[in-house]
Structure 1
């Protein structure tokens, strides 16, 4: 008998689909959350069925279970862990583990690694449809789809969240069996178009619920959300690029996800502090008591960030004549290009105006220090008119 313990996201499901194609009803598949894996491993090991073959994909075990798996394998038990998360690389010291972050010069997914493994073992025959499916999962999980403009990958992920996981498994198996291409039917396309609009509305609403916090020297954007974490984290990070990373809290599930679009920070290292791990730009962890205090309790005392006005014609970011921001006290903050100093800031309370070589750095300073936002054209024009009059009067 075969047993697969895998993640309950699209990449984990991809492994389940491949296992079902390879072994049919001869494999038992369990979809797990990150925190749910280790109890399942312990339960399997207690049964002592060494004739069973255990696979673990897209998840990593804790130190205790790693030692137990060593003992199990030494006694003749058959186990194989396949993962692609950077935070699991240390497991490669065990003979039963294979953790690989990249393959063929591209970021790997658990599905792509498991597919290659099953082919090498002669357990699955590749087809055009399965090849396409595996690549869509890989691009979605590594966020490569956005860079490639591969909307099919995003659609696959959107469809995944619309169905119970077992029902979606049946839908995919039907698509992949006896077909050389992978595609969505007309009804699915219509459903996906509606879902895309729904997700867009959801994300736009959440962009107004972002709280800024300085935690361990990094500027975090804290938001509470139960779904669409990948799209949400990416969109919010782009909306507020002055933040080092986005922390998405799920209090009911006692989980927290971390996302970033920046190269200077590794959120898998942040996740480790809260019994988690993952990728450099996307990780997850347990909402521990300390995490709850830092990300939930402390931010509850503050107000969410305000979004920049998006449709200005006059108050435009990066123009050398200057652009106007405002804080919650209604005080103006002006960023302009000084011919000698570079980008400079005018604001009440600044003893000495700092200067920056790039506009983006000046704006980052303003948003971090003042939690300010770009004002609308009317306020900007009024400010510039007063500034002109002061200059003409010699004040």
Structure 2
């Protein structure tokens, strides 16, 4: 599985890493870990993401390694893309997940290697590695470092542990396997303090975000015999509470605890006339990746997303109606 990637690492010296728009701890932790590992091997490595790091992830990058296309601009970004001999695209497998720099990266597809754990109809590029059975992209990078014979250290272990704890919901989700626990134990043995990582990843809510959560929970609605729960966020709620949209990412998980709810949907109004939708399933019987696919999105069977154009009330009606198929 890793032979082509190993050859790319061994035969080249200049690398660029990127992850999807609206980055999370899995994508960022994975690219930081592999970037730093290659630097330790004597390689040149840079990180260029569509977005600059949101405030909730800046704890992972105190040295400012992660650069954003949104701030760097097309001209400087192209220089970095052209200088790289290999481009690693991590934690996503669609060019559109790299917007607004997706076309620039796709134009250089011949030197792109995707490493991802999301379902895909086909590999993005011939040498890409996609493993849907992996809990996270961080787990795949952990495997790759083992295959490369590169030793872990506290810094690399920290990045990978952040990735792992995020995508397993701190070892609560269905993707938490015995292998995940073995990996976590190995990472912890390198000086990681699990309680500190949990605090950074899951317990850093601002006052504004808590006030915003109260406003969002007031929008809670149930459908299909209480098997579907959905909530919504408007731009006005963000302004009223003084919160930032990246701080609302986990709001959808709050309503997962409602019994007998099986599926949760969170609608967020963006500032460009579009609605960002997060889908979550509590049961293996309901595949929200299929539901997200109806709206041009995707992800995992239990957690997916989409971005849809339209007014918030109209989008809610469309999506809730389409969700009927989940409960047949």
Per-residue CA deviations over 1:283-330 (Å, capped at 9, x if unaligned) read 11112238862317999xxxxxxxxxxxxxxxxxxxxxxxxxxxxxxx
User: C-alpha displacement at 1:111, in angstroms?
Assistant: 1.7
User: C-alpha displacement at 1:58, in angstroms?
Assistant: 0.7
Does the 8 A contact of 1:237 with 1:246 survive in 2?
Answer: no
Larger RCO, structure (CA 8 Å, separation 6 or more): 2
Bigger-Rg structure (1/2) = 1
Does the 8 A contact of 2:26 with 2:163 survive in 1?
Answer: yes
Equivalent pairs counted in the alignment come to 252
Summarize the Cα distance change of 1:241–1:267 in structure 2 as closer, same or farther, 3 Å threshold: same
Corresponding residue number in structure 1 for 2:133: 102
Corresponding residue number in structure 2 for 1:282: 303
Counterpart pick for 1:141 among 149, 162, 167: 167
**How far apart, CA to CA, are the structure 2 residues paired with 1:297 and 1:275?**
13
1:267 matched to 2:282? The reply is no
Summarize the Cα distance change of 1:136–1:29 in structure 2 as closer, same or farther, 3 Å threshold: closer
Does the 8 A contact of 2:93 with 2:123 survive in 1?
Answer: no
**How far apart, CA to CA, are the structure 1 residues paired with 2:46 and 2:141?**
16
Q: How does 1:301-316 map to 2 (within 5 A)?
A: none
User: C-alpha displacement at 1:14, in angstroms?
Assistant: 0.4
**How far apart, CA to CA, are the structure 1 residues paired with 2:228 and 2:159?**
37
Does the 8 A contact of 2:231 with 2:266 survive in 1?
Answer: yes
Structure 2 spans left out of the alignment, 5+ residues: 1-13, 52-67, 177-186, 235-244, 321-326
**How far apart, CA to CA, are the structure 2 residues paired with 1:191 and 1:68?**
31
Corresponding residue number in structure 1 for 2:278: 257
Summarize the Cα distance change of 1:119–1:190 in structure 2 as closer, same or farther, 3 Å threshold: closer
Does the 8 A contact of 2:33 with 2:159 survive in 1?
Answer: no
Summarize the Cα distance change of 1:48–1:200 in structure 2 as closer, same or farther, 3 Å threshold: closer
Does the 8 A contact of 1:229 with 1:257 survive in 2?
Answer: no
**How far apart, CA to CA, are the structure 2 residues paired with 1:46 and 1:131?**
31
Query: Residue 284 of structure 1 aligns to a residue in which SS?
Result: strand
Structure 1 spans left out of the alignment, 5+ residues: 151-175, 300-367, 369-395
Summarize the Cα distance change of 1:264–1:288 in structure 2 as closer, same or farther, 3 Å threshold: farther
**How far apart, CA to CA, are the structure 2 residues paired with 1:249 and 1:228?**
12
Per-residue CA deviations over 1:66-103 (Å, capped at 9, x if unaligned) read 99999966xxx4321001112xx223384222111224
User: C-alpha displacement at 1:113, in angstroms?
Assistant: 0.8
Counterpart pick for 1:241 among 244, 260, 268: 260
User: C-alpha displacement at 1:201, in angstroms?
Assistant: 6.0
1:6 matched to 2:19? The reply is yes
Does the 8 A contact of 1:229 with 1:248 survive in 2?
Answer: no
Does the 8 A contact of 2:32 with 2:159 survive in 1?
Answer: no
Query: Residue 250 of structure 2 aligns to a residue in which SS?
Result: helix
**How far apart, CA to CA, are the structure 2 residues paired with 1:191 and 1:82?**
23
Per-residue CA deviations over 1:246-288 (Å, capped at 9, x if unaligned) read 2332332632222232332111112112221111121111122
1:232 matched to 2:251? The reply is yes
Per-residue CA deviations over 1:103-148 (Å, capped at 9, x if unaligned) read 4xxxx211221232234234x4213563364234213213253369
Q: How does 1:149-188 map to 2 (within 5 A)?
A: 180-183=190-193
**How far apart, CA to CA, are the structure 1 residues paired with 2:105 and 2:202?**
42
Summarize the Cα distance change of 1:147–1:11 in structure 2 as closer, same or farther, 3 Å threshold: closer
Counterpart pick for 2:123 among 85, 89, 92: 92
Query: Residue 90 of structure 1 aligns to a residue in which SS?
Result: coil
Does the 8 A contact of 1:257 with 1:284 survive in 2?
Answer: yes
**How far apart, CA to CA, are the structure 2 residues paired with 1:115 and 1:32?**
24
